[in-house]
Structure 1
Amino acid sequence: MTTATRPATRAAGRTAPQRSELPALARRALAQRSDAPAGDACWTALASAARELLAERWAATQRADTRRGRTRRVHYLSMEFLMGRALGNALQALDLQDAAQAALPEGAPPLGEVLEHEPDAALGNGGLGRLAACFLDSFATLGLPSFGYGLRYRHGMFAQAIQDGRQIERPDTWLEAGSPWELPRPELRYTVGFGGHVRFEGGQHRWEPAETVAAQAIDFIVPGHGTERVSTLRQWQAEAAQPIDLTAFSRGDHAQAGQQRLAAERLNWVLYPDDSTPAGRELRLRQEFLLVSASLQDLLARHLREGGDIHQVGRANVVHLNDTHPALAPLELMRLLLDEHGLDWDAAWQATHQATSYTNHTLMPEALETWPLDLVERLLPRHLAIAYEINHRFLDEVRARFPGDEARVARMSLFDEGQSHHGGERRLRMAALAVVASHKVNGVSALHSQLMVDTLFADYAQLWPERFLNVTNGVTPRRWLVQANPGLAGLLDKHIGAEWRQDLSALGALRAKAGGKRIGAEFLRVKRAAKARLAAHIREELGLVVREDALFDVQVKRIHEYKRQLLNLLQVIARYQAIVADPGADWVPRVVVFAGKAASAYRAAKGVIALIHDVARVVNTDPRVGDRLKLVFLPNYSVSLAELIIPAADLSEQISTAGTEASGTGNMKFALNGALTVGTWDGADIEMAEAMGVDEMFVFGLRADEAARIKALGYDPRLYIEGSRVLQQVIDAIAHGSFAHGDPQRHRELLQPLLQHDPYLLMADFDSYLQAQARVDALWRDPAAWAASALRNIAGMGGFSSDRTIGDYLREVWAPPAR
């Protein structure tokens, strides 16, 4: 992997932070918040002061970007941006931590405590949103002219609470006290339509929506590090075109009078509304179109305002689709260019194709969006007509290239004619649309990208092999090492210098030092301090005392069957049973930590959370086990909680079924913080193992080709259960109610599918997984060898910076099109 070269471009204006300004700005803000609690008031004051300084950088960045020459401006469309807390990141970027501490009044809490008062920005859910946030950091740090575009979710996806061991969803009230990071842009307001009909007059189509909402821009500034540059996350807030219906109000129908306002506000209530109902599906489609339409209108207005030729909009701008959620973008861009700006079809399609690129994040069919045609026709009639025309022209190209192959034509059509699933319902396939419209399509790890062209997009890759490529994901070391783990960052500075902070490939210098006795001891002390902080949080949150010298074994991510939290739990039960059977043995003490949210309608995932809690109740209170094994589930996983957990982890669980995890970025964050990985040969685990040395990772389980082959031959999970005494005992314990107050039916819904078809091959991989865990125990018994391996892990992570990822995008995906 290559490391991105940092552009020399810097925003105009001041060349260093004005440290003297922050205390004055903060004191002024504090004077306006004298009635607020001390911690909240100090946080708001510091955030307001930092935002004021960043706003100056933002203005300078925008001025500089109008003079960007041939560099294309990137518009990154994503339904999620999981930003986390912003103040600590801003102070770090501005190099104002000391000034911030000095700005706090006498008697105020210390800065570290003040930072804890900031709620996480609830604009995302998992890896997709955190990746987008890392990219914004790298956009700014590398000086890339860019905008991130998203929606301003008032209540996030949900705040997770646990009640009687079950997940409970509650509104995330992160905006309850306002957000000092937001910059309202009242001058940036666009009309977004739904429904209605299409007229054709004078050779021109004209869409006349039946209803409209106003999309109001609110900017969130993301600072670069080591530069004056900043990035912009432009969020859209839907507002009613008319605040109230005065006619309805006057006749006393007050509920009807506010319907437009309520309908608009609903678009920003939650991320990913439950789409198991028709109303939920419609709301999600409306959200996606709001994002796309407002963002593209903003792009075109800026392009024209800066003197750009509308015919050259695709040469000057990139529209990047982060997964299929924004895949309506090519249809809306075509509509705007055809209907609003008068381009002919060929010119509009050329501009759209030049501008559009697409990142695929999953190979699983159920995760690839499709929309019923009747819903699309009802909400977006003009866009459906454009999709039909795109498909007609595209399929003519397919037939010309593959004459007589009508089966291939059907597979490649943008429209699923009901031949595969959905009960025969005709649907628009968004992944197919994204591929056909894009000039480049990338996967996010080497294995994923290869499987993408071999399976999901095989027909398209045969037609356009040059269109497909790999760009392996990365994470920002500013957030996930410097900010999250200052103790480790300081250790690295001491032993290899600080160059790695600007160029992560400099971590390679650590390899030669990794076996040293002194650096190993220092690393273990830093890790122990991080574990002490997490242990204190567990005690405060759950009332559970855990050993700080235990092995901290961590799996934190979205709860999903393919991520196999259940496989992890099965080995926890096996370990528990082994300890009970031989309590006098020399057991390696473990603290097993889970965290993550299950989608509100995902019964199997919620069942896994319930079983984790049921097992924890037994394990954590069994006197025969004592403190040799503790099972922890930390609720409401978030960026700020991850910043506490990841530095404390000794072992990172990356155990998805091979071939199902596109990349992963949590695996990178853990390894960067010195956790060893137990994982399958899947996603970016493969490239990480190759970079750090395969022997440094505890690899287990079937490979992707083996998993496919075993399924094709007729996989029977019961054969693996019958062949493993340990696995049989684990399954029997769950089935007989050992972890459910004697109620054998309590986990039946979760267990039966596992015994009958086990789609993610937990039974097939169980014994191999247990053997890997035994290797973990063996290495843990030698602290010096463990520390040396952890340091070699860190040394191998230089290629997994989001700066490198964005450098790859700039060269391979977003480069100016050939003339």
Structure 2
Amino acid sequence: MSISDLRGDVLRHLKYSIGKDEDHAQIYDWRVALSLAVRDRIVDRWFAATRATYASRAKRVYYLSMEFLIGRLLEDAATNLGLLDEAKAVFDGFGLPFDRVLADEPDAALGNGGLGRLAACFMESLATLGVPAYGYGIRYEHGLFRQRFEGGRQIEEPEDWLTQAHVWEFERPETSFEIGFGGHVHRTGTSRGIWRPAEAVIAQGFDTPVVGWQGRWANTLRLWGAQPTRLLDLERFNAGDYTAAAQPETLARTISRVLYPDDTTEGGKALRLKQEYFFTAASLRDILRRFESEYDDLRKLPQKVAIQLNDTHPAIAGPELVRLLHDERGLPFDEAMETARLCLNYTNHTLLPEALESWSEGLMGYLLPRHLQIIEAIDAAHHKAYPARSVHIREHGQVQMGNLSFIMAKRVNGVSALHTELMKTTVFQDLHALHPERIVNETNGVTPRRWLLGCNPRLGALITEVLGDGWVGDAEELARLAPFTEDASFLERFAAIKRANKEELAGWLKREQGVAVDPSAMFDIQIKRIHEYKRQHLNILEAIALWQDISDNPNGDWTPRVKIFGGKAAPGYWFAKEIVHLINAVAGRINADPATSRFLRVVFAPNYNVSMAERLIPAADLSEQISTAGKEASGTGNMKFAMNGALTIGTLDGANVEIRDHVGAENFFLFGMTAEEVVARREVPGHARQAIEADPRLARALGALRDGTFSPGNPGLFAGIADNVEHHDYFLVASDFTDYWRASREADAICRDGARWTRMAARNTAGSGWFSSDRTIRGYMADIWDVTPAAAPGTLAAE
């Protein structure tokens, strides 16, 4: 691809697609023109991949997820096509700042955290490996929410990413399905039922091509937007009732407006169940439509279709696929159930019982009456096959979607070695005893193209210089860096790259947050969804205790530290929102203290998203992975930090266990109880009070929450957090605090030895290659999906 060819295509799109000339084009226009020029080249691969899939009659993978946190796509796509340097040269020739062009792209508001980013990494790896695949989800107009702070409190506002054209997608009005809700079921005298919904919406497809490394293959992310079955009630409109006339469109579009509507109300619960059925039902119909265009025998479905359910959100896929096969296509019920089960696989992401969704039978029966009947039949069939079972799908008037997902799956996978073993002994203990072959482990991974080469180009260039570029497509080659971690020249360059990344972040924090930080300080970063089990309140309590110690001895030998937080609290999660408020209040007090601010600063950057992560992770010195052991299924942020040369302070939880094994225990700051010790500790009466009494620092920090230190006008403002830690400490913040303090001070001491710290950081990068999502996807291919690539690497790139 020559620079002149790309330049010509950019100018052509600027003129004919956007309708601007060079003299009047704005950064937005240039960004869209470049995106379209890059997209053109993806489309060629996309079409070729589709032709190759049909020609080979290959088995396809279908990944169903409520979230796809894809972030910005322009730089990622240009990188994978090998066009990034050419694009920069084109814009240098135009005299335009290329970094501003890239930064103009909004983050697609299609996810919240690790669940959605994992799905995005998987889609990229599937394309990199040449596996025919579709991702299916919802095209949210407003996503989760845009976060800002007012008086330190989280304020939620609608995301506006679709106010601009999403240039990467293709609208597919011909790919539409009518999705029904409510109504009644007419029984035919057999086990089959005829469902007559009371209301319906249209699911319309929007396709985004996803290209893999070196453009070898491209797959499809198909997102469903909700449309009304009729746009306008013209009779009401002509009668002057304009609001009622628009109601059908308003109600339909509500389904695809917001990710995770607050479900603390009955209306919110109904909307969430509607969303889950909406995208799952549309996806299954699309899958069957594609299958039936090639094959006549429905019994071949498991040979040609592998469906992965990303968490319990698409769990309704089991009864829906049975309904489509049995009610609509006439397969006997038992055969329909087994055919569906052999297609479906379920990824569990949590050991928290409350996160394994359940729906009341009343709501399920009202919105999906036929599905409730089928669930009852599935439950009965499972009981007949296993009469001694003690677990049910329907329990105490609730439909347990975790149990449904497990029973209707060929394979159930955990996402780290520890998590998978805990699944067998906790949430799915009884089902595992009945189906011991069903649970397998597939430890999560992240794509090194975005999370090292893309977000940290300086480090990527250094690695390529010493190893060649093979590591980009095979991240396990990073292990070849091990000898260089003893090379003084390499380590000096590694440290200089980290310093440059920190200087860039410091400049951004000053511009965007108005907070001045010293790049020579340790950058200590915790970025993730705000939740009690992730223990951001443990982190801020340690910051309070450290500030108090520094205040007592401001001339001590302290290691300067900048604590940086990012993450959103669910709108209905009061305690998580109070943690956000506390962090901001502590930041305000500490940052304004002239006696301590040279040693400790606290920053909470609002509206955390993929683009912010790409800025923060390369600049991190210390990665906070401090969840209560046994609660974090895996984590993928921990992998990204390690890959970019940050040291982890963490518990033996989720993938931390495997990260520590791969990077070396000596290069990891371990603290806290194990999962087994956590269970035992909870049984100790007054365990939190004991821990507080044993550690004066913790007692003093909690006292500061009660005495108004961080809320002078309202002394009791944060007493609820202190009371939670002292009296309701399920997540064992108090019991782990002392060891967390010890590990933090150990990190301080080593940080003062810059050469030692850099060596440990480089060993993290060298040991992180196993955590590539390519390795994870190969595991799914072999252990769960039974698929192989449809074309040899490079085949499509040669067309």
- Fold similarity call, TM over 0.5: yes
- Alpha-carbon distance in 1 for matches of 2:533, 2:93: 52
Query: Is residue 2:55 matched to residue 1:76?
Result: no
SS in 2 for 1:104: helix
- Name the structure 1 match of 2:14: 30
Q: Give 1:21 deviation, angstroms.
A: 4.0
Aligned residues of 2:92 and 2:98 also touching (Cα < 8 A) = no
Number of the residue aligned with 2:74: 87
SS of the residue corresponding to residue 221 of structure 1 reads: strand
Is 1:121 matched with 2:108?
Answer: yes
Give the counterpart of 1:149 among 126, 136, 145.
136
Structure 1: distance between partners of 2:584 and 2:301? 54
Aligned pairs (5 A) from 1:330-729: 330-399=318-387, 402=388, 408-409=389-390, 412-417=391-396, 426-729=397-700
- Are the structure 2 counterparts of residues 102 and 695 from structure 1 closer, same or farther at C-alpha, using a change threshold of 3 Å? closer
- Computed over aligned residues only, the root mean square deviation of the Cα atoms, in angstroms, reads 1.5
Please say which of residues 269-278 and 747-756 is displaced more in the overlay: 747-756
CA contact (8 A) 1:19 1:96 kept: no
C-alpha distance in 2, partners of 1:19/1:139?
A: 29
SS where residue 222 of structure 2 aligns? strand
Relative distance call for 1:108 and 1:168 in structure 2 (3 A) is farther
Shift of 1:105: 8.2
The residue type equivalent to 1:29 in the other structure is H
Structure 1 residue 33: deviation in Å? 4.4
Alpha-carbon distance in 1 for matches of 2:711, 2:265: 32
Report deviation, 1:750.
2.0
Q: Deviations over 1:617-652 (max 9, x none)?
A: 111011111321110010000000000000000000
**Distance change (3 Å), C-alpha of 1:614 and 1:37:** farther
| TM-score for both structures, normalised by structure 2 | 0.96
Partners of 2:84 and 2:303 lie apart in 1 by 41
Are the equivalent residues in 1 in contact too, given 2:319–2:374 (CA < 8 A)? yes
CA offsets per residue over residues 765-819 of structure 1, 9 Å max, x none? Answer: 01100100111011111111111111111111121000000000011011169xx
Q: Identity across aligned pairs (percent)?
A: 45
Tell me how far apart the structure 1 counterparts of residues 322 and 297 of structure 2 sit (CA, whole Å): 16
The alignment status of 1:184 with 2:155, answered yes or no, reads no
Gaps of 5+ in 2: 789-799
Deviation at 1:530, TM superposition (A): 0.4
Q: Separation in 2 of the partners of 1:816 and 1:695?
A: 39
- Alignment deviations for residues 578-616 of structure 1 (CA, whole Å, 9 cap, x no partner): 111111112111111000000011111110111111111
- The equivalent position to 1:164 in structure 2, one of 151, 172, 178, is 151
Say if 2:123 is the partner of 1:139. Answer: no
Displacement after TM superposition at 1:398 (Å): 2.2
1:106 is displaced (CA, Å) by 5.9
Name 1:263's counterpart in structure 2.
251
Q: Does 1:804 align with 2:792?
A: no
Shift in Å, 1:741: 1.5
**Aligned positions of 1:150-229 closer than 5 A:** 150-201=137-188, 203=190, 204-229=192-217
Residue 87 of structure 2 is aligned to residue 100 of structure 1: yes
Look up the equivalent residue of 1:592 and give its one-letter code: K
Q: In 1, distance between residues paired with 2:551 and 2:524?
A: 20
In the alignment, is the contact (CA less than 8 A) between 2:644 and 2:765 conserved in 1? yes
Do 2:42 and 2:215's aligned partners in 1 also have CA atoms closer than 8 Å? Answer: no
- Whichever residue aligns with residue 88 of structure 1, its letter is E
Q: Conserved in 1, the CA contact under 8 Å of 2:3 and 2:90?
A: no
Change (3 A) 1:180 1:276: same
Contact 1:715–1:757 (8 Å) recurs in 2 = no
Q: Which amino acid aligns with 1:415?
A: R
Deviation digits for residues 280-309 of structure 1, max 9, x if unmatched?
A: 000000000011110000000000112352
Please give the alpha-carbon distance, in whole angstroms, between the structure 1 residues aligned to 2:677 and 2:55: 53
Paired with 1:329 and 1:188, the residues of 2 have a C-alpha distance of 19
Residue equivalent to 2:30: 42
Misfit runs of 4+, over 6 Å = none
Judge conservation of contact 1:38–1:108 (CA < 8 Å) in 2.
Answer: no
Deviation at 1:735, TM superposition (A): 1.1
How far apart, CA to CA, are the structure 1 residues paired with 2:748 and 2:354?
Answer: 38
- Give the superposition deviation at 1:197: 1.0
Aligned to 1:626, the other structure's residue is in SS state: coil
- Alignment correspondent of 2:265: 277
Q: Secondary structure at the match of 2:201?
A: strand
Q: Which amino acid aligns with 1:51?
A: R
Q: Is residue 758 of structure 1 aligned with residue 729 of structure 2?
A: yes
Provide the rounded CA distance (Å) in 1 between the counterparts of 2:713 and 2:198: 58
* Structure 2: distance between partners of 1:103 and 1:324: 46
Whether contact under 8 Å (1:238, 1:268) holds in the other structure is yes
Q: Which moved more, 1:676-685 or 1:570-579?
A: 570-579
Structure 1 residue runs of 5 or longer lacking an equivalent are: 1-16, 403-407, 418-425
Q: So what's the TM-score if we normalise by structure 1? A: 0.94
User: Are the equivalent residues in 2 in contact too, given 1:315–1:351 (CA < 8 A)?
Assistant: no
Q: Secondary structure at the match of 2:426?
A: helix
Q: Hey, what does 2:227 align to over in structure 1? A: 239
SS of the equivalent of 2:162 reads coil
| CA distances 1:51-71 after superposition (whole Å, capped 9, x unpaired) | 1221222111111111334x4
1:734 paired with 2:705, answer yes
Q: Number of matched residues?
A: 783
Judge conservation of contact 1:611–1:747 (CA < 8 Å) in 2. yes
Give the residue type in structure 2 aligned to 1:64. Answer: A
